[in-house]
Amino acid sequence: GIQVEQSPPDLILQEGANSTLRCNFSDSVNNLQWFHQNPWGQLINLFYIPSGTKQNGRLSATTVATERYSLLYISSSQTTDSGVYFCAVGTSGTYKYIFGTGTRLKVLA
Amino acid sequence: DAGVIQSPRHEVTEMGQEVTLRCKPISGHDYLFWYRQTMMRGLELLIYFNNNVPIDDSGMPEDRFSAKMPNASFSTLKIQPSEPRDSAVYFCASSGPGTQYFGPGTRLLVL
Per-residue confidence (pLDDT) for residue B62, from 0 to 100: 86
CB contact under 8 A, A35 and B95: no
CB contact under 8 A, A48 and B48: no
B106 touching A (Cβ < 8 Å): no
Per-residue confidence (pLDDT) for residue A91, from 0 to 100: 81
Q: What is the pLDDT of residues B38-68, one digit of tens each?
A: 999 999 999 999 999 999 999 998 899 999 9
B42 touching A (Cβ < 8 Å): yes
Task: Reply yes or no on whether the pLDDT at B111 is more than 90.
Answer: yes
Per-residue confidence (pLDDT) for residue A99, from 0 to 100: 92
Q: B17 to chain A nearest CA, in Å?
A: 26
Spatial CB neighbours of A18, under 8 Å, sequence gap ≥ 6: A73, A74, A75, A76, A77
Task: Reply yes or no on whether the pLDDT at A63 is more than 90.
Answer: yes
CB contact residues (below 8 A), chain B span 65-84, against chain A: none
Per-residue confidence (pLDDT) for residue A95, from 0 to 100: 76
DSSP codes joined into one string, A15-67: TT--EEEEEEESS--SEEEEEEE-TT--EEEEEE-SSEEEEETTEEEEEEGGG
Per-residue confidence (pLDDT) for residue A92, from 0 to 100: 72
**A77 vs A4: CA distance, rounded Å:** 25
| CB contacts, 8 Å: B104 with chain A | 41-42
The closest CB to that of A86, out of B33, B43, B101, belongs to B43
| CB contacts, 8 Å: B105 with chain A | 41-43
Cα–Cα distance list, A28 to A52, A97, B10, B43 (Å)? 15, 13, 38, 21
Task: Reply yes or no on whether the pLDDT at B82 is more than 90.
Answer: yes
